[in-house]
Structures are given as C-alpha cells and as structure tokens.
Amino acid sequence: MVGIVIVSHSKQLAAGVRELAAQMVSGDVALAVAAGIDDPDNPLGTDAMQVYQAIESVYSDDGVVVLMDLGSALLSAEMALEFLTEEQCEKIYLCEAPLVEGAIAATISAAQLNSIEQVLAEARGALTAKAAQLGIDVISDTLISPQNPPLVNDREAKEHSRTDNPYTLQIQLTVANRLGLHARPAARFVTTAAKFQAQIRVRNVTRNTDFVQANSINQVATLGVRQGHEIAIAATGIDAEAALAALQELVTNNFGEDDSDLIPTVIDSSETVEGELLGIPASSGVAIAPIFQYRPTTVQVEEYIVEDTANEWQRIQTAIQTATQDLQSLQSANQLGDKAEIFSAHLLVLQDPALLEPVHQRIFSHHQNAEFAWKSTIDELAHNFDTLEDAYLQERANDITDVGQRVLRSLRGITTPTIELTQPSIVVATDLSPSDTAQLDTTKVLGICTTRGSATSHTAILARSLGIPAVVGVPAAILHLANGTLLAIDGASGKVWLEPDTDTIARLQARRNAGLQARQHAQVTAHQPAITRDRKRVTIAANIGSVAEAKIAIKNGADGVGLLRTEFLYLNRTTAPTEEEQFAVYQAIAEVLDRRALIVRTLDIGGDKPLDYLGLRAESNPFLGKRGIRFCLEHQDIFKTQLRAILRASHGHQIKIMFPMVATVQEVQAAKAILAQVQTQLRQANIPFDESMQVGIMVETPSAVAIADQLATEIDFFSIGTNDLSQYVMAADRTNSQVAMLADALHPAILRSIEQTVQAAHSSGIWVGLCGELAADTLATPILVGLGLDELSLNSQAIPMVKRAVSELSTVEAEAIAQRALKLDSANRVRELVSSFYTNEEVERKTQR
C-alpha cells in the first residue's frame, strides 16, 4: 500500500489534516506527520529529520507520497531524501498538490490499493472538485492517464449500457441525506465502488452531468450532488449486480450519516393572517413577552500604511491570544454541555495557517495596519463560505465573522458586548452570533427571533441547548417594531404573532403552561431528598464537566456529583494540565459542593478523543481500543499527576475516585497499586489527603458485568455507564445511524446486565449507581428504582423531574415493574409497560380526587 506523509509548519494543522483524511477511509492507510519544531516560544517550522523519520515509518515498496504546505516544508522534504538510500529515494514522490485536499484524495486512493501513479493523479487533481463547485474552469491533464481515464461522456456511457452486454447494469437513486454527497459520503461511495472488479460510473441526473469514474474522489465530488438530487450508477463487469446492490444500500442508508442534529427547516404551509409572520422553526417552545431590539455594533476599520511591520504582527499575535483565552473561558464556563464544542471550531479558526498567512503577507508585503489586514482576510474567508451553494456551509460564515470581530475588539481594546435586559423579553435581531447566544441570561431572554439564520446554524444549536424558543428567517418587518411591543413566538411551528389578541395569548399560554407546570412543581421540591412513598431514599447526583456546571447542579437540587468528566482539562491544549491546574479545579468544585459527594472519573481518553500532544495514532475502532484505564496504565506519568491532584483536593472534602473502561480484575489491581504509590509519596511529603477515600469503577463493558462479583471484592462502589454498556452489549455503535437504535438502554438485555451488576454489588456489601443517559429518562425511573440502584447520576436540568418521579413511586410497585420488564423481548415493549403504569397512576389519582 502507498504510504502518505504530511509535512507542515504547524503540528496542529498536520494532525487535523491526518485526522480528516483518516476519517474518510475504513482501511488502515499508512499516514505519518512531520510538523512543527520543539521550540515552545516559536513552534511553527519544519525539521528534515522529522520528515525522514515520518517517511521511514510509512515506507513501502509501493511508494510514498509526501505532501507539503509551503516555504521551508519543501526544503525540509528535499533534505530528508538525503538520509535515504538511492533505492528508497526512487520510491519517494514529493507532490505539489494542495495539502488538505491532496491528503484526502491521496488517502482515499491509497485505501483502494491503487498504484503510486493513481494516488499521485488523485492528489494533483484534488482542486478540480472545488473549482467545479465554484464555477471555475480548471484544465488538468494530471487526471488523464492509462490508470485514470478521462471522464466518460453520455455517448460512451450508452455504449457501455448496450443490452447485448450481459454484464452491464444501471440503477437510478435519489440522495436523501441532508448535506448530499459531500466529503465523507463521497469517500464512502468511492471506497465502496473500489471493492468490486466491475467498471463503475456515476452521473448527476438532476444536473445532467456526464458520467465519471466512481472510484475517483475528485471526479465524484465534481458532480455537486445535493439532497434530493437523482444519480445514475452504471456498472459493467462480472460483479456488476453485487456492486450496484452495495451502492444502493449505501445511498439508501444515507451513507451511514446521522442527520438527527440537523433539524429539518420545515415551515408550516398554512396561510398566515394579519399580525402573523412566518419564519423557520429553530428551537421549540413558546414565548410571549415584549421585544428587545438588539443591534450589535461591529468594529469598523480603515487602512493606513505602517512602517513597523513587526510591531503590527505582534499586535495581531497578542489579540489572537486574548481572543483564544476568551473563547476557552466561554467554552468552559457556560451551560451548553457538549454543544460548547462549537467554540472548539472557533479556536481552530484562530490557529489556521490558511488565515494567518494572508494576514502576515498583507502586513509585511503591503505594510497594511493590523486591523485592516485582519478584517480584509476575515471578510474574504467569510465571503467564500457565504457564496457556497450548500446552506449548511453558508452558516459557517457567521462563525468566521464572529471570530473576526472578537480579534478586532481585542486589537481596539473594546470589551466584548453582552445583551443586558431590564425585564424578561424576546430578543429580536438581524442575527445573533454564537458568542452572543452562549452568553444570554436565560432568566431574562424568553425567546429569540431573527431575520437571518437557519435551523442548522450554531446559534440555533446553542438556543436549543439553552432551552430558549427561537424562530429564524422571519421577514425584516419585525426589525421596525418599537421596543416593548408584545410578541409571541412558537419555536416548533415557526409562527410569530405581532401584538397577539387575547384568544391567541390564552391558547399559547395554555400550551406553554402545560409543559411548565410539571417542571415548576418539580423545581420547588428539587432540594428535598428523593424518597419513595415507602421511605426508600435514592441519591440523585449530577454529571458535570466544569466548576460552572457544579453550580448549576446544586441550583437544580443535586445531592452531589456522581460523575466529574475530567477530559475538559486535557482537551484543546498543546500540553497536559499540570498538577496545580488540576488541583485548583477539583478543589473549586469540591468547595461548591460543600460536603456533598464528588466522584471524579480519571482520564477517559483514547482513540475517540485523541490528545494531539501525545502523538497518539488513530485507531480503526477507537471504542474498542486503548482508552480509559488502558490509556492511564500505559501513561503512568499523566495518571499519577492526576491522582496526586485528586488526592490533594480530597482533604476536607468528600471526594471519591472512579476508574473508567475496566474489563479485568488485573486492571483494577494495577490502578490501585499506582494509587497506593501516590498516596505513599504524599504521606512522605506530609501532604494531607482523605485516607478513607472510596475507590470505584465504571461498569460499562460486558466483561465487567460478567465478573462483577470478582470486581466487587476489589473496590467500594460500582457506577454503571449505560451509554457505552448499551453499545457493547448490543454490538451497535451508538454514533452509527444505521444501528444506533439497537443500542437502546431500555432493552431487556441491558436491564438484565444492570440487575446482575446490582445483585453482585449488594452481595458484596458495596453500593451501586448509574450515570448513563438512561438515568435522566423519567420513563426508566420505576425500573431503575425497582432494580435496586442506590444512586442515579444525570444531567443537571433533569434532576428535579427525576426526583419527583422517585417520590411518586413505592418500591413494591417499582420492583414489580422491573421484574416484568426483564421478561419482555424489546425496548419498545418496556416503554409500553411503563407508559401504561403512568397512565393508570394518573387515572387513579384523578379518581381519588
């Protein structure tokens, strides 16, 4: 197989390109990176010895393709060849293709076991698809060779589909996935086609394109297939029928993509009446309140000539550093949960050499001032996104502008604006940036109404995460309304009412109140213990990932923290966090909790959440790879640093420690031995810690369930992680839309695993909790209580409702429901069982009243 080397000045850029390319293929393509230099103050650069070592690591007699970004990268690559033998040098090809697109195209071609000539041709033609989508005519003879024939026109296609050829077949399909045949689906299409001997061609019927080779990522991408487009696939050869069947299944299954987070932009087609406007539903919920017109001011700049270019470049660097710190604070100190990762994309924009290089050139070559050089580059990049045909990609222009304005404010010393309201209101604006949305006061902002945006925008995603009703794409007439005008919005239908009449208000309020009443009642009693009617107490704890989330958990009535995810301390940085950094965070969270319990899960990192600064290789199946406790046992320096920080923070607090991804007794024993070493070191240094600290494990692998009785003798508690346990028991990747429905935690197979674990724990005299998403599902509460769980740990927002659900149960009826559920044969039947229980309970309560 052809090997591929990526040479870049930026280690982060190279790692990102490698990750992106690796995601495009299912095969194990040999990809190596040679990037950056070991200088903390100036890490950008290239090293010939690194390039040589990277080539050596992927060397193959089939050849090695070396892709470089710019400048000294080419020089370093050329110098690296001097360390190789003459015979090896003949197999090395320095390729002039664009780094990102070339790496992706070359990787996909290499995964098909193509020759070095074919891989080079694909890499060199990588810009063809982009040029075609932008309407630029690119003539490239690099794509035409005996190994890679020219595009096939309709006449030739008809010749190949003659009825007298018994091996020629053709099908016509509609592409249904929301983003069409973009990078990953195109890659899956190409790699699937390459598995067959048949000659396969494809054309976009909707756009009336010519047929192209189905095994070329560049040619397939030029078809510009979008959602709803029809494609024709023709296959000629002995396995043509099997090839078309495989491709048809791929297209039918949306290329394995999950569109669930991209909610459809469906507008109610019913006619509106006077006083009503129709927009795009972006975040469900009803809001009725006076409007607040938000008109953010953008930083305007002028161009002037500067002589001290070095100073201007330093100003840019300082502003970017400030903006980076602001984004990191925004990412870690909000209520957005995993949606805060949106700001990881903003951070990557600030680190992108493709953005910084033009700014550098404008300053040093054209002597432009920092503000003008930055804004010109940002505007150009945002325009490139905004003019794309793909609506989803168009929305990324808003993110680019948001980042750009943040840096401009830093350059000018302007404080980041916030939306400050004197009364509960619906915010009306042309648009809101992700930064604006993330900082909204949810007690004052009852709704969002904008004239721009879509349901796939990051602003809409953040609004949904914050639980704020939102309608976007509303007619611009709404911008002319005076502040204080009464407005009503329905984020589910996209309807907006201007000064609604009393009947409309009553109808909308009834709908809103029905949903709020149960939550409000639960919130009132949220700080009371969760005790069943027959006096059994169940601890209700929170899953958190920051100090801010700890505060939210306490506000929502958490009895403690059942899972502190510590990964947030390690991600989005270039070095591991120090002991002091970790200690400060753990101690701060413990102080927020006062004497409530805090269970700290040790670093749960691996192939699915790689740390670039450790140089971890991508794994073909990361969920079954080196993650959790496996990673920590191999990287004991990182593990011991974290253990020391946790132990030190435990002094005077109720902190417990928990090891993730345990599969064997030996792993637990090894982790405990390392913990004992750290404890001994602290004692010798007279550093206090909780000597009676409890140690537990996550039960999230089938093997841990099977040997739960043995594991229970080694530790103090179990915490069942149903998210991972479900996918492992059901052999179904929960991130794969084709099989994710199988990984249902209410399936009797999972419930029986929970029962077995609880019984093993209680038999050994230890307690057991559950910290998967199942804990937040009130439909599952009777079963979990009936199975005997001592603790449920869940997202903070769900705590009041789960506490209320526990208080309405008796253990006798809960145990009866659980035992019936264990005997059923599907998750759907389990849901029907619990739903009927709640219905009967409601009828009984009404009868008693």
Residues labelled catalytic = 458, 771
3-state class of 557 per DSSP?
coil
| 306 burial level (CB within 10 Å; 0-12, 13-18, 19+) | middle
- Check if the beta carbon of residue 153 is closer than 8 Å to that of residue 210: yes
C-alpha angle 615-621-624 in degrees, rounded to nearest 5: 95
Residues 6+ apart with CB under 8 A from 748: 821, 822, 823, 824, 825, 826, 827, 830
Q: What's the rounded Cα separation, in Å, for the pair 404 and 319?
A: 11
Q: Is 534 exposed, middle or buried (0-12, 13-18, 19+ CB in 10 A)?
A: exposed
Other Cβ atoms less than 10 A from the Cβ of 545: the count is 18
SS3 769: strand
User: Six-digit token pair at 605?
Assistant: 């990192």
Question: Nearest Cα to 454, choosing from 386, 500, 401?
Answer: 386
The answer to whether the CB of 363 falls within 8 A of the CB of 370 is: yes
Amino acid at 90: E
312: tokens are 């201007």
The dihedrals phi and psi of 65, each to the nearest 5 degrees, come to: -100, 125
State the Cα–Cα distance between residues 515 and 801, nearest whole angstrom: 12
**Burial class, 36, CB count within 10 angstroms (exposed 0-12 / middle 13-18 / buried 19+):** buried
Cα→Cα distances 653→399, 555, 694, Å: 41, 19, 12
Q: Is 473 left (phi over 0), alpha (psi -120 to 50) or beta?
A: left
Do strands 168-174 and 230-236 pair parallel, antiparallel, or not at all (unpaired)?
A: antiparallel
- Cα–Cα distance, 6 to 417 (Å, whole number): 41
DSSP 221-249: HTT---TT-EEEEEEESTTHHHHHHHHHH
Return contacts of 831-837, CB within 8 angstroms, 24+ apart.
Answer: 831/746, 831/779, 834/779, 834/780, 834/782, 834/783, 835/779, 837/782, 837/813
Which DSSP string corresponds to 153-193? -HHHHHHHT-TT-TTEEEEEEE--STT-S-HHHHHHHHHHH
Q: Which of 516, 514, 471 is nearest to 272 (CA)?
A: 471
Task: Tell me the C-alpha distance between 211 and 215, whole Å.
Answer: 12
Between the CA of residue 470 and those of 62, 455, 459, 467, what are the distances in Å? 55, 9, 10, 9
- Give the C-alpha separation, 513 to 582, whole Å: 43
d(CA 143, CA 118): 9
Q: Are 94 and 349 in contact (CB under 8 A)?
A: no
| Token duo for residue 568 | 């947030």
Q: What is the rounded (10 degree) CA torsion for 253, 256, 258, 262?
A: -80
DSSP state of 347: H
Burial class (CB in 10 A: 0-12, 13-18, 19+), 494: buried
Give whole-number Cα distances, 584 to 249, 327, 546, 579, 662, in Å: 52, 20, 12, 9, 27
**Distance separating alpha carbons of residues 826 and 730, to the nearest angstrom:** 12
